[in-house]
Amino acid sequence: MVVVMAPEADQADIEAIVRLVHSAGGEAFVSRGVSRTIIGLVGDVDQFGALNLRSYPGVSDVVRISVPYKLVSREHHASRSVIRVAGVPIGPGTLTVIAGPCTVETAEQTLTAARMAQAAGASLLRGGAFKPRTSPYAFQGLGEVGLRILADVRAETGLPVVTEVIDPASVDLVSSYADMLQVGTRSMQNFALLQAVGSAAKPVLLKRGMNATVEEWLMAAEYIAQRGNLDIVLCERGIRTFETATRNTLDISAVPVAQRLSHLPVIVDPSHSGGRRDLVLPLSRAAIAAGADGLIIDVHPHPAAAMCDGDQALTGDDISELGEAVKTLPQLLGRQLTPPLEPAMIG
Amino acid sequence: MVVVMAPEADQADIEAIVRLVHSAGGEAFVSRGVSRTIIGLVGDVDQFGALNLRSYPGVSDVVRISVPYKLVSREHHASRSVIRVAGVPIGPGTLTVIAGPCTVETAEQTLTAARMAQAAGASLLRGGAFKPRTSPYAFQGLGEVGLRILADVRAETGLPVVTEVIDPASVDLVSSYADMLQVGTRSMQNFALLQAVGSAAKPVLLKRGMNATVEEWLMAAEYIAQRGNLDIVLCERGIRTFETATRNTLDISAVPVAQRLSHLPVIVDPSHSGGRRDLVLPLSRAAIAAGADGLIIDVHPHPAAAMCDGDQALTGDDISELGEAVKTLPQLLGRQLTPPLEPAMIG
Amino acid sequence: MVVVMAPEADQADIEAIVRLVHSAGGEAFVSRGVSRTIIGLVGDVDQFGALNLRSYPGVSDVVRISVPYKLVSREHHASRSVIRVAGVPIGPGTLTVIAGPCTVETAEQTLTAARMAQAAGASLLRGGAFKPRTSPYAFQGLGEVGLRILADVRAETGLPVVTEVIDPASVDLVSSYADMLQVGTRSMQNFALLQAVGSAAKPVLLKRGMNATVEEWLMAAEYIAQRGNLDIVLCERGIRTFETATRNTLDISAVPVAQRLSHLPVIVDPSHSGGRRDLVLPLSRAAIAAGADGLIIDVHPHPAAAMCDGDQALTGDDISELGEAVKTLPQLLGRQLTPPLEPAMIG
Amino acid sequence: MVVVMAPEADQADIEAIVRLVHSAGGEAFVSRGVSRTIIGLVGDVDQFGALNLRSYPGVSDVVRISVPYKLVSREHHASRSVIRVAGVPIGPGTLTVIAGPCTVETAEQTLTAARMAQAAGASLLRGGAFKPRTSPYAFQGLGEVGLRILADVRAETGLPVVTEVIDPASVDLVSSYADMLQVGTRSMQNFALLQAVGSAAKPVLLKRGMNATVEEWLMAAEYIAQRGNLDIVLCERGIRTFETATRNTLDISAVPVAQRLSHLPVIVDPSHSGGRRDLVLPLSRAAIAAGADGLIIDVHPHPAAAMCDGDQALTGDDISELGEAVKTLPQLLGRQLTPPLEPAMIG
């Protein structure tokens, strides 16, 4: 941490800061410049944060230097992690595809979508039973009925299930059906929910908030990790910008940036970022080429009849084109498509 | 709703859309242009939304025309509402000031801050007992102990209490102490929480999400209203932009814009938007001049020792300057500062 | 300037940086932390910038501490400046209103608009002869014919003229008619134009780029100042954000922020930021209350027939309401509305 | 174009709009809804724009339906264009790499960088002689001396030259040396410059403004095309968002989006968008996979000594890794790397 003194700060101001830092158990190194003095702080950053240094006379700015997350940081955990979802790996060396319907509507639709997911190269099934919707008048999901459908389709297809949880009170319920808990973009700073999934015994798929910096995203992961759950997969899904041609702007750079800062795997959601079916394939290819550890994709047997986000669900020929891309592209980057689990491996 | 057909759409594509709209109980008016045809839809927009019209052949775009919220809209409720918090009005004709410490730390600090709030013209006391913090290592609030302190200070000062609730599970607890429930910026799309406060018997202060459009903000209010609670006050607190000189960018235009679209009162938080003490006064004045129905402001007896956001808390001379501004400025705009409750009125 | 070393940087890396800084005539203060070392640099920042310190082994980040502008900074020029436009002051103590049509269309329209401007409290006349338009098919302005109309209206009304210049090649031409040169939002980083107006003998109204940080805006002013022209007035006119309810988001905080960083006057354009007539009055009031040194406002006798931006031009009753606001509000803030020039003062 | 009437609009308001549209030579189709009436307009959109329909009583909103650009639109030019730069193609079927130093510093540095560019697979040489710099104190380029160096290096290596022009007054000078004129991100709405390069006899590389929507970018291309020059290549180079981990946010979706809307080729600049050397390779791969028609990349023999943007220039091993990627990846997408010109083909 660096304290920047104002040009008009005097010797007493500087000494006051040095004393404060010492009182918090830290060390302070003073660099006197021509127009300004800066003070380098060494010690426990969390302690320094509590000092409110900005409030002291003569202080112009306080600049944090080190990263505020620890458990998810790559600084003390250099090798990138592999997270396993009911045996399916997500991490370096592989490309793992998660696919399925945005929303579970019926048993038949979900099973058909799961078969499409398999054709698209998926080894994990996605599907929403609890849906966070912008409008209170929109379909809110089937709830536990939907979870049961997902479990049945898992039994039928062998695909472990990834599904969203939106309320701390239902984490236990969702955990009893799901293989991986998804925290959605609007919940990324729902700290009560982060703590609840941090105490669950299932891996977590943490979507980036559409307005969150990479640092805030990693801090949200730190919340989960701090409760003891380090099985976290990060998911870039587009951020909010001024551009309106796409629903959100896929921040493709966030993939290598987050992989450099954190040891956690990073996957991409090309369906929700663009919000348009015709962008899913180019964005999927871009994500693989940028080094993503996986993809999560909406598919639907009849997009025009979908109860949610039908505009972006893949169907028909797109499925086979995606299946082809996820097989060939990763090899150029030293990865292999994660195969579905062997039937024997499914619990 | 308007369906814009692609230039290459043919007669069959157009007729298919018209049939669909009829099947959903609506009417469709076709306007054939030189290069494009547009179809105007009349009927129930929620029904049309479920049709996934964008998925049909020949459809280039679907443009929503009417607003998606109803209960909070001014379309069917032309006069602006006054919301009462334990008898204190917020709405047209008055300027209501809510002030207090960002976080309740001790009984003494809270009482002193409440006295400062009164000096600043406040008729309501703010103070956080449950704090949503970006870092899991930061102070998370005193919880119920903090609520009890707030209740004691209310008894002492006569100021009704506004405090944040961050988890649906604690809405009942917080309601048992507070006079108004605050939903914070990071919770604006926590739909489980919105539904929970929508069922509570207390008025709600709904902060705008830092990445939310005005429309999404009003949709969040609609969630609360839909559960039966129409005692909602909207609070603009800055949005996230590329500018880094301030913590967030106060969207001052949102005040008149939201007041035109919704009948609910709109207040401004100049402390959290700027994140800097030296901006609180100019932004408070700007908010009053723009027509805000109130202000919510951080004050602290010893900002340098504050456990949260000490950098932005008003103290000392600023308090009297603010007290002066909230008395004189509103009169130029046809408003009066809301006075504190008469002792007799306090339950 | 502070160099932050990576955790894995070794002693040789640190010494290399220290040597480089010494070779550039600076001093380097090393603060060794538990996990990182930081190096405080003292000396000529421009020299350090040329060292590309980020490119050296072991360097994790380079943080600039001091501001990159000098001539327009308040650090070495503590009192706020008053700029005079043909004798009309803009700066502390006064509120100066610039008003007129967005575009000069005819002599009659311009004269009528100038009379409306006077009724609205203006002491300077705005009007565009060269218009930067997003579409090549939109009206591009009357050019020199428009400048002549402005000069005629000045002779008739006594209002000095503010008009935009969009090309370095026409700075001399525009200067020969105008009293103040406006640099528009899309030209804020047109460096050839900045240098040209920096060499002109007229004051400059520098609009903030809709995507520019306050720092970049001040750097654009520095370009002008560096060529010898310090008669610069800054104009906040809204920035581009995700919000679509308004054309741009007026960054009201930028007024006190820029006034604190720079000695130059800061005015506000409430017409172009909102892009809606119904927002002009509330935003004008907010700007005055936030401490702006002036306003620049579109007026038009027949907005529905305007060739440019008719949607935002004030007319009719709004004019008198604005005239009232600019007279009464500034007094509460220790300012007086700048009166029109005495006839005798007009050259 | 669609006019949305306010709920309170009456029959006279509606008829007034219909009459206006007829008077402008258009047709108006009225759709009366339960709460609102909408009017579909058919005819010349530019004519309608001049009507200021928003200013009329009872009008709530005016929604444009068709795109405002024509010459660069794919609506009337379905097949994607190939642009040739001194014989080197940019467009579908190929991947064309432009590489070189950000700034021309010396003949030797430029020649060495050109050799590196060739090793990276480039068939065109980039290099700046006129540099738009945020600070007036930063190096502004060698000017014509730099152009001469580029011409000499072209003679030596056979690489045609792409270089930036920042002022309409120097378009002729730059055209006399360059094979392609670059319009930079800060100049994208410098309309005088767009018109000047529109009259030049050289192809134009049009960078997207860092704050420009895709539509505004295409409108800027339309400015150039309208003057008779349709040899335009679009270049996505990152947009400004709230994220600070990268200099700008590469909008990878803009590649397929712009290719769908316009017949012009679209290339990507991974160096300036990220502003970090370690992101250039992943972003280059992502751009190719998303379907970009080319790349433009900074290389420098000694990044630490670069006079501009040394932090992002590729060097050493990165060059061969990039050379490998541009050879293998495009084939998976049905493209071939554009080879350098045969010596015989160089004029």
- For A174-178, A284-288, C28-32, D240-244, which range has the lowest pLDDT when averaged over its residues? C28-32
pLDDT at B136: 85
Are C96 and C294 a contacting pair, CB within 8 Å? yes
| pLDDT reading at C215 higher than 90 | yes
- The Cα-based distances of B145 to B105, B107, D218 in angstroms read 10, 10, 59
The minimum CA-CA distance between A50 and chain B, rounded to whole Å, is: 6
d(CA B274, CA B283): 8
| Mean of all residue pLDDT scores within chain B | 92
- pLDDT tens per residue, range A243-255: 999 999 999 999 9
In the block, tokens 């809301």 appear at: B338
CB-CB under 8 Å, C61 with A35: no
pLDDT at C311: 79
Q: Which of B54, B137, B189 sits opposite A186 (nearest CB)?
A: B189
CB-CB under 8 Å, B65 with D63: yes
| pLDDT reading at B219 higher than 70 | yes
The minimum CA-CA distance between C229 and chain D, rounded to whole Å, is: 14
Closest Cα in chain C to B246: C253
Closest Cα in chain B to A240: B211
- For B319-323, C50-54, D102-106, D317-321, which range has the lowest pLDDT when averaged over its residues? C50-54
| pLDDT reading at C297 higher than 70 | yes
- pLDDT tens per residue, range A28-39: 888 777 667 888
- Cite the residue boundaries of each domain of chain A with CATH code 3.20.20.70: 83-345
Q: What mean pLDDT do residues D298-308 have? A: 84
pLDDT at B176: 97
Are A293 and A306 a contacting pair, CB within 8 Å? no
Whether the CA torsion B311, B315, B320, B323 is positive or negative: it is positive
The minimum CA-CA distance between D282 and chain A, rounded to whole Å, is: 5
Chain D positions in Cβ-Cβ contact with residue A280 (cut-off 8 Å): none
Q: Does C115 touch chain B (CB under 8 A)?
A: no
Q: Which of A257, A274, A288 sits opposite D246 (nearest CB)?
A: A257
Fold of D83-342: TIM Barrel (3.20.20)
Report D:30-49 residues touching A (Cβ under 8 A).
none
CB-CB under 8 Å, D30 with B65: no
Please tell me the pTM assigned to this model: 0.92
| pLDDT reading at C282 higher than 80 | yes
Rounded to the nearest 10 degrees, what angle do helices D254-261 and D214-226 cross at?
A: 40
- Characterize the bridge pairing of strands A204-207 and A232-236: parallel
Closest Cα in chain A to C243: A242
- pLDDT tens per residue, range B269-304: 999 988 888 999 999 999 999 999 999 999 998 887
Q: How many CB atoms lie under 10 A from the CB of residue B180? A: 25
CB-CB under 8 Å, A260 with D251: no
Q: Does C245 touch chain A (CB under 8 A)?
A: no
Length of chain B: 347
Question: By percentage, how much of chain A surpasses pLDDT 70?
Answer: 98
Q: Which one-letter amino acid corresponds to residue B189? A: Q
Would you call D149 exposed, middle or buried from its count of C-beta atoms within 10 A (0-12, 13-18, 19+)? buried
pLDDT at A2: 82
Q: Which residue has the higher pLDDT, D315 or A91?
A: A91
Q: What is the 3-state secondary structure (H, E, C) of B114-165?
A: HHHHHHCCCCEEECECCCCCCCCCCCCCCCHHHHHHHHHHHHHHCCCEEEEC
Q: How many CB atoms lie under 10 A from the CB of residue A221? A: 29
- For A99-113, B34-48, C157-171, D225-239, which range has the lowest pLDDT when averaged over its residues? B34-48
d(CA A207, CA A175): 18
- Which residues, including other chains, have CB under 8 Å from residue A118's CB and lie 6 or more apart? A157, A159, A340
Q: Which of B260, B283, B329 sits opposite C252 (nearest CB)?
A: B283
Kind and range of the H or E element at C239? none
- pLDDT tens per residue, range C44-90: 777 787 788 888 888 888 877 777 888 999 987 889 999 999 999 99
Whether the CA torsion D222, D223, D228, D229 is positive or negative: it is negative
- pLDDT tens per residue, range D122-174: 999 999 999 888 888 888 899 999 999 999 999 999 999 999 999 999 999 99
Are A270 and D248 a contacting pair, CB within 8 Å? no
CB-CB under 8 Å, B186 with A190: yes
Smallest CA-to-CA distance from D91 within D254, D225, D251, D291 is with D291
The minimum CA-CA distance between A63 and chain C, rounded to whole Å, is: 9
Pick the CATH number of C83-345 from 3.40.50.261, 3.40.50.720, 3.40.50.2000, 3.20.20.70: 3.20.20.70
What is the pLDDT confidence band of residue B347, given thresholds at 50, 70 and 90? Answer: very low
Would you call A253 exposed, middle or buried from its count of C-beta atoms within 10 A (0-12, 13-18, 19+)? buried
Q: Does C241 touch chain B (CB under 8 A)?
A: yes
The minimum CA-CA distance between B318 and chain C, rounded to whole Å, is: 15
| Mean of all residue pLDDT scores within chain C | 92
- pLDDT tens per residue, range A322-334: 999 999 999 999 9
Q: What is the 3-state secondary structure (H, E, C) of D125-160?
A: EECECCCCCCCCCCCCCCCHHHHHHHHHHHHHHCCC
The minimum CA-CA distance between A62 and chain B, rounded to whole Å, is: 11
The minimum CA-CA distance between A271 and chain D, rounded to whole Å, is: 12
The minimum CA-CA distance between D188 and chain B, rounded to whole Å, is: 19
Cα-Cα end-to-end distance for chain B? 50
pLDDT at C182: 98
Would you call B223 exposed, middle or buried from its count of C-beta atoms within 10 A (0-12, 13-18, 19+)? buried
Q: What is the 3-state secondary structure (H, E, C) of A146-207?
A: HHHHHHHHHHHHCCCEEEECCCHHHHHHHHHHCCEEEECHHHCCCHHHHHHHHCCCCCEEEE
Q: What mean pLDDT do residues C152-160 have? A: 97
CB-CB under 8 Å, B303 with A132: no
pLDDT at D34: 67
| pLDDT reading at B345 higher than 60 | no
In the block, tokens 């049939």 appear at: B19
Q: Which residue has the higher pLDDT, A295 or C310?
A: A295
pLDDT at B220: 96
- Cite the residue boundaries of each domain of chain D with CATH code 3.20.20.70: 83-342
Chain A positions in Cβ-Cβ contact with residue D328 (cut-off 8 Å): 332
- pLDDT tens per residue, range A51-64: 888 888 888 888 77
- Cite the residue boundaries of each domain of chain D with CATH code 3.30.70.1140: 2-63
CB-CB under 8 Å, B40 with D38: yes
Pick the CATH number of B2-63 from 3.10.28.10, 3.30.70.1140, 3.40.710.10, 3.40.50.1820: 3.30.70.1140
Report A:279-298 residues touching B (Cβ under 8 A).
none
d(CA B23, CA B16): 11
Chain D positions in Cβ-Cβ contact with residue C55 (cut-off 8 Å): 303-304, 306, 310-311
**Subunit partners of chain A (3 or more CB pairs within 8 A):** B, C, D
pLDDT at A345: 54
Q: What mean pLDDT do residues A117-134 have? A: 94
d(CA D105, CA D95): 28
Are A250 and A270 a contacting pair, CB within 8 Å? yes
- For B22-26, B215-219, C127-131, C211-215, which range has the lowest pLDDT when averaged over its residues? B22-26
**Subunit partners of chain B (3 or more CB pairs within 8 A):** A, C, D
CB-CB under 8 Å, A190 with B187: yes
pLDDT at B56: 86
- The Cα-based distances of D298 to B162, D121, D144, D203 in angstroms read 55, 13, 21, 20
The minimum CA-CA distance between B49 and chain A, rounded to whole Å, is: 9
Residue among A252, A321, A327, A329 with most chain D CBs within 10 A, to mutate: A252
What is the pLDDT confidence band of residue D347, given thresholds at 50, 70 and 90? Answer: very low
What is the pLDDT confidence band of residue C347, given thresholds at 50, 70 and 90? Answer: very low
pLDDT at C345: 54
Q: Which of D42, D61, D244 sits opposite B32 (nearest CB)?
A: D42
The minimum CA-CA distance between B96 and chain D, rounded to whole Å, is: 32
d(CA A192, CA C193): 53
| pLDDT reading at B147 higher than 80 | yes
Are D231 and D203 a contacting pair, CB within 8 Å? yes
Smallest CA-to-CA distance from A104 within A174, A16, A176 is with A174
- For A132-141, B133-142, C45-54, C74-83, which range has the lowest pLDDT when averaged over its residues? C45-54
Smallest CA-to-CA distance from C320 within C59, C55, C120, C103 is with C120
Tell me the backbone φ, ψ of residue A136, rounded to 5 degrees: -70, -10
CB-CB under 8 Å, A189 with B138: no
pLDDT at B335: 97
CB-CB under 8 Å, A136 with B226: yes
pLDDT at D48: 82
Are C101 and C298 a contacting pair, CB within 8 Å? yes
Rounded to the nearest 10 degrees, what angle do helices B107-119 and B317-332 cross at?
A: 40
Instruction: Write out the two tokens for C92.
Output: 């502390």
Closest Cα in chain A to C210: A242
Kind and range of the H or E element at A89? strand A88-90
Report A:254-273 residues touching D (Cβ under 8 A).
254-257, 260, 273
Q: What mean pLDDT do residues D317-336 have? A: 94
Q: Which of B33, B35, B65 sits opposite D75 (nearest CB)?
A: B35
Length of chain D: 347
- Which residues, including other chains, have CB under 8 Å from residue B177's CB and lie 6 or more apart? B147, B148, B150, B151, B161, B163
Kind and range of the H or E element at B97? strand B94-100
Chain A positions in Cβ-Cβ contact with residue B219 (cut-off 8 Å): 134-136
Q: What mean pLDDT do residues D220-239 have? A: 96
Whether ipTM tops 0.85, in short, is: yes
Cα-Cα end-to-end distance for chain D? 50
Q: Does D305 touch chain B (CB under 8 A)?
A: no
Q: Which one-letter amino acid corresponds to residue A163? A: T
d(CA A230, CA A70): 12
- Characterize the bridge pairing of strands C94-100 and C122-126: parallel
Instruction: Write out the two tokens for D244.
Output: 């600070």
